[in-house]
Structure 1
Amino acid sequence: MEQIVSSGIIDSYFSKLKENLSVDVAIVGGGPSGLIAAYYLAKAGKKVALYERKLAPGGGMWGGAMMFNEIMVQKDALHILDEMTIDYKHYRDDYYTVDSVHASSALTYFATKAGARIFNCTSIEDVVFHNNKVSGLVINWAPVHREGMHVDPLIVMARAVIDGTGHDCEIVHTVAGKNDIKLNTPSGGVMGERSLSVEEAERTTIENTKEVFPGLFVSGMAANGTSGSYRMGPIFGGMLLSGEKVARLIIKRLSAMEKVVETGKRKVEV
């Protein structure tokens, strides 16, 4: 029995890993925007792999506000909570409270149920850079990074990459720092996160969700950190709407790419 348990886990995991060495979309960071993006992309039939450094996805949502496990969501994002059957209570005006543990677990469940694959305990060392485009990720075990071990990584190819790493904007920093390129930001570089301003941050989180370099998209707090906008604290409507928007942008981009390929095939046939 002991051997069956071990061999079953190893066979299943490596089958999953091998099947996802080439994907439509690779998402870095399992916070709320990343999970929402994974859900909508997988629901649309895209092959999605999400990489989370920590043991459990969910990002800062788990802790609520100062470990009070409640969060706030505004009315504009309630349709996402409804789609995922997440309970909420009206507080006042257009604001609703949500149990953060309930919400975090639901986002993870619905993303994986839709078909997204989540690889936890995984760090991203670098990106694949082909023809002046972000074309994949260089991955390693998170404990390897934590311990400072010199262990070579593996590579995952992707048609689009999402930086959902939150305040640190890790993937955008890597791409801009290593490749002498200009980003789609007001300064052309990573502008950094500003101090807290809830209303502005909620608006600009969605506004700054975009493709910042060919093949590289940003969502959630990484969107605001990249374009120099504010943090928002324990209100998550903008994060959810950002994940929904980036999925929509990528679906549109991949569809356009597929049309170009199909047109090219017809020309060759003619």
Structure 2
Amino acid sequence: MDLEVTKAITDTWFQRLQENLDMDVAITGTGPSGLIAALRIAEAGYTVSMFESKLAPGGGMWGGAMLFTSIALQNEAVYLLDELGIPYQRYNDNLVICDSVLATSALIYRASRAGVLIHNGMRVEDVVFKDNRVSGVVVNWEPVVREGLHVDPLSFRAKMVVDATGHPCEVSEKVAKKNNITLNTPSGTVSGERSMNVTEGEAETVENTKQIYPGLYVCGMAANGVFGSPRMGPIFGGMLLSGEKAAKLIIEDLK
């Protein structure tokens, strides 16, 4: 039985992996903006894989604010809670409150059910860069990267890559520095996020969601980090709407 269990796991996992080595969209990071983008792109019939360095997908949404598991969303994003079946309560004319663990779980479940392949414990340490375009991701196990082991990574091919790594903007930073390119940002590179301003941060998260180099999109906090906009704190409507916008842009590009 022990060998049968091992064969069952490895046979199915490697089969699914090989079926997804060449995909339409690779999303780095699995926070709320990336999950919504992945869900929408998969619903449109495209292949999507997500790469998460931690064991648990979900990004900063899990922890709510200071581990208080209530998160706020503004009215513009409530339709997504309704669609995903996430219960919420009205707090005032502008905000609703929902449970962070329930909301994050729902996003992960819906994306997975739509066919999104989520790789946990994997870090995107570089991109595939061909013909002056981001054409895939270079991936290794997170413990290998963290321990500094000299183990070569593997590459996955993708028509589009999304940097949804949050505050560090890890992929955008890597692409700009290693390839000496100019990004589609005011500074031509990664500006770094500014201190908190909820109103500006929420609006600019959506505004900054776009393609910043051929084949490379940004969404969520990575978008604000790249463009030098403020962080917004424990309100998540802009994050979800950013994922919606990213998906629409990418689907149109793939067509």
Give the TM-score normalised by the residue count of structure 2: 0.99
Name 1:98's counterpart in structure 2.
98
Note the residue ranges of structure 2 that are not aligned, 5 or more in a row: none
What SS class does the counterpart of residue 211 from structure 1 fall into? strand
The 4+ residue runs of structure 1 with deviation greater than 2 A are none
Aligned-partner residue type, residue 197 of structure 1: N
Structure having the higher helix fraction is 1
Q: Percent identity?
A: 59
Give the C-alpha shift of residue 2 in structure 1.
Answer: 1.0
What SS class does the counterpart of residue 30 from structure 1 fall into? coil
Name 2:108's counterpart in structure 1.
108
Note the residue ranges of structure 1 that are not aligned, 5 or more in a row: 256-270
Deviations 1:205-253 (A, max 9, x none): 0000000000000000000000000001100000000001000000000
1:46 aligns with 2:30: no
Give the C-alpha shift of residue 66 in structure 1.
Answer: 0.2
Aligned-partner residue type, residue 28 of structure 1: T
Name 2:150's counterpart in structure 1.
150
What SS class does the counterpart of residue 54 from structure 2 fall into? coil
User: How many equivalent pairs are there?
Assistant: 255
Give the C-alpha shift of residue 198 in structure 1.
Answer: 0.1
Aligned-partner residue type, residue 62 of structure 2: W
Q: Distance in 1 between matches of 2:4 and 2:152?
A: 30
Aligned-partner residue type, residue 214 of structure 1: P
Name 1:74's counterpart in structure 2.
74
Name 1:37's counterpart in structure 2.
37
Give the C-alpha shift of residue 170 in structure 1.
Answer: 0.3
Q: Distance in 2 between matches of 1:81 and 1:36?
A: 11
Deviations 1:180-213 (A, max 9, x none): 1111101111100000000000000000000000
Deviations 1:26-54 (A, max 9, x none): 00000000100110000000100000000
Give the TM-score normalised by the residue count of structure 1: 0.94
Aligned-partner residue type, residue 6 of structure 1: T
Q: Distance in 2 between matches of 1:7 and 1:147?
A: 29
Name 2:129's counterpart in structure 1.
129
Name 1:230's counterpart in structure 2.
230
Name 2:15's counterpart in structure 1.
15
Aligned-partner residue type, residue 104 of structure 1: T
- Bigger drift between 141-150 and 159-168 goes to 141-150
Give the C-alpha shift of residue 158 in structure 1.
Answer: 0.2
What SS class does the counterpart of residue 63 from structure 1 fall into? coil
Q: Distance in 2 between matches of 1:9 and 1:82?
A: 36
Aligned-partner residue type, residue 145 of structure 1: V
Aligned-partner residue type, residue 186 of structure 2: P
